[in-house]
A and B are shown apart, each in its own frame.
Chain A
Amino acid sequence: MAANFNEHSDISAADLTRLSQEAKAEATPSSARIIWDEFKADKPAMVALVIVVGFILFVMIGSLFINTPKMMETNIMNYFSQPGQNGLFLGADSAGRSVAQQLIVGSRNSIGIALGLTLISSTFGICWGLISGYFNGYIDWGMQRVYDFMMMLPMTMMIIVLVTIIKNYNAVTLTLIFSIFYWEGTSRLIRSRTLAESEKDYVAASKTSGTGNFKIIFREIMPNISSLIIVDTTLSIAENIGVETGLSYLGFGLPLQTPSLGTMIANANDPNNITQYWWTWLPAALEIIILCLSISYIGQVIRRAADASQRQGATD
């Protein structure tokens, strides 16, 4: 077939490669490419990306080398060791436990929960928003009433109450409890975009030609609002780090023997700790700040990449 084609056409093989190269150069770059260009054009964004990715890798790999039960053992010899003393990089807390090690394991737990929570709550929120926005009418009305009701619930209190009811909860149940309450923001955002998207011609055309509703929703509308989804998910991660650490700070997050960035900041509740033994809590607080700022900044850059009018990276 190919040989046949070459015989009867005037275009040589060299022309063909040249043409395909030209076409490639003129084609709209892929979204991954656009986002990458955007990062390359924005130095602070690159720094943020390196911080976040490097830190997550460091924490995930580092925590593999730490024996958590052994780390959480009381060691009276190291009682409030200062940073640098006794070979402890960031000192030790009231039970003589290494702050640096707790920080690594705690970060892994906190980031892990934040990622898990984002995955579950965003998936649910996206589906809820897409379905609610697409099926305008009674379904939307009903789903919006559920949304209103969830918005009325005092979230922090409900989570605390649920945590006290469920015995022997762990990181997984905790993530699930959080997920019940943190899908609303995403769902509202996705719904409003889906409402606008459903008005467009391609949806009408698809309906007329008999495509199934769910195929239209997930194969046609969802890809079209994918940039919004990516941006919202990135921003949710930063927010969700705050959710878990906040609850752990209050004492209703992860159990005491499982370190979290929040339980470490809770060291600051003691007036002696907060002034004299600052190293027990300040590193965790600073880490949360840096992490949240970096992740949100990455989200902002992706948002810029998604909106052609705001791009800073090379466009053509």
Chain B
Amino acid sequence: MWKTILRRILIMIPEVIILSILVFLLAKAMPGDPFTGSINPKSDPAQIKHLMKINGLYDPWYQQYWNWVVHLFHGNLGNSYQYQEPVTRLIGGRAQNTLWLALFTMILTYALALPMGVFAGRHEGKIPDTVIRVYTYVTYCIPFFVILVIGIWIFGYVLGWFPTTGSISSEASGWLHTLGSRFYHVLLPAILGALFGTVNIVQYLRSEVIDAKRSDYVRTARAKGVPSKDIYRHHIFRNSLLPIAAFAGYSITGLLNGSIFTETVFSYPGMGLLFVNSISYRDYTVITALVLIYGILNLLGTLLSDIILSVVDPRIRIE
């Protein structure tokens, strides 16, 4: 098992290096330079040239890349031109919001998907199973951003049950009130994300339960006279749970990619909205940092899932 994990991590290293080179080159290819934002009609062209020279912008790209990487390891991602503050601090504040939303969505998704998966597997081929199948099919097909827009329209504007912008109410004061306000702001996006993000878990769990139903240990349990309810709760569910836990890593990846849409629709100040805003302001340092962070988080998500799977399922370890 350790060998698999080690090999998996070793493969990761070149991937991160290629990603960083790619991100760096893309940032270089973008129009403008880091001083575009600070230029005004009074700036002296010679001085700008001098600034670019001392900042190493005339060096060959590999030299610039190396400097960038060295800065990166010192935790220095540069300054944001739009917000005039260090990128690390800017993203740090936004990351908290995004992770809070992602975590909450994930908890709700599992809370919804686990009972549904077991239920569908238990009543395989009967009406509840069909209903759940139709539900997962519909939620899988519809593009998520359409659901978000319709959701915010119905529940945010027409019914007025939920806030439509921000991550926290400006009137919120005090520790408990702030937490409550935060919770209230992520509730609608999290519910929508959970309702429309169950398909993988439900389908996987359903087939696991159907397989387990016919296995020997379940037959033994039945022969011993264990009540059906307990078989599902203690025997089948526990055995199917760990592979399902492995989906958590993949869910993180999916949620991060979805966060751009969720945060735009709900004007929720997280990393996704920061990215969209930075693109319109051509705030390159922020863009580069965000693409890199999302890439690495994606990688860690899949790594986590692969490790859990290799721990749980010995078949994967044999290579």
Question: Chain A interface (Cβ within 8 Å of chain B)?
Answer: 145, 148-149, 151-158, 160-162, 164-165, 167, 238, 241-242, 245-246, 249-252, 265, 268-269, 271, 274-275, 278, 281-282, 285, 288-289, 292-293, 296, 300
Q: Could you tell me if B276 and A161 are in contact, using CB atoms closer than 8 angstroms?
A: no
B295 touches A152 (CB 8 A): yes
Interchain CB contact under 8 A, B15 and A265 = no
By the criterion CB–CB under 8 Å, are A249 and B145 in contact? yes
Is the Cβ of A296 less than 8 Å from the Cβ of B137? Answer: yes
A285 touches B149 (CB 8 A): yes
Q: Are A149 and B141 in contact (CB under 8 A)?
A: no
Q: List 9 A-B contacts (CB under 8 A).
A: A149-B15, A152-B302, A160-B279, A242-B142, A269-B264, A269-B265, A274-B153, A275-B153, A292-B143
Are A156 and B260 neighbours in the complex by a CB distance under 8 Å? yes
Q: Is B119 an interface residue (CB 8 A)?
A: no
Query: Which of chain B's residues have a CB closer than 8 A to the CB of A241?
Result: 143
Q: Are B157 and A274 neighbours in the complex by a CB distance under 8 Å?
A: yes
- Contact status of A157 and B261, CB under 8 A, knowing A165-B29, A268-B153, A288-B143: no
**Contacts A242-B142, A293-B142 given; 11 further ones with Cβ under 8 A?**
A145-B11, A152-B295, A155-B257, A160-B279, A161-B26, A161-B291, A238-B141, A249-B145, A265-B145, A268-B149, A274-B157
Chain B residues in contact with chain A, CB under 8 A? 11, 15, 18-19, 26, 29-31, 137-138, 140-146, 149-150, 152-153, 157-158, 164, 256-257, 260-261, 264-265, 275-276, 279-280, 282, 287, 290-291, 294-295, 298-299, 302
Known: A152-B302, A238-B141, A252-B279. A271 touches B164 (CB 8 A): yes
Closest partner residue, chain B, to A157 (CB atom):
B291
Chain B residue contacts of A162, Cβ below 8 A? 26
Q: How far apart sit A34 and B265, CA to CA, in the bound complex (Å)?
A: 44
A152 near B276 with CB under 8 A, answer: no
Partner of A246, one of B11, B261, B276: B261
Q: Which residues of B contact A155 (CB under 8 A)?
A: 257
**Chain B residues, Cβ within 8 Å of A152:** 15, 19, 295, 298-299, 302
List residues of chain A with CB within 8 A of the CB of B279.
Answer: 160-161, 164, 252
Q: Which of B18, B144, B158 contacts A149 (CB 8 A)?
A: B18
Collect the chain A residues with CB atoms within 8 Å of residue B264's CB. 250, 269
CA distance A19 to B142 in the complex (A): 51
Complex-state Cα separation, A262 to B299, whole angstroms = 30
A21 shortest CB reach to chain B, Å? 39
* B260 to A, closest residue via Cβ: A156
In the bound assembly, the distance between CA atoms of A250 and B265 in angstroms comes to: 9
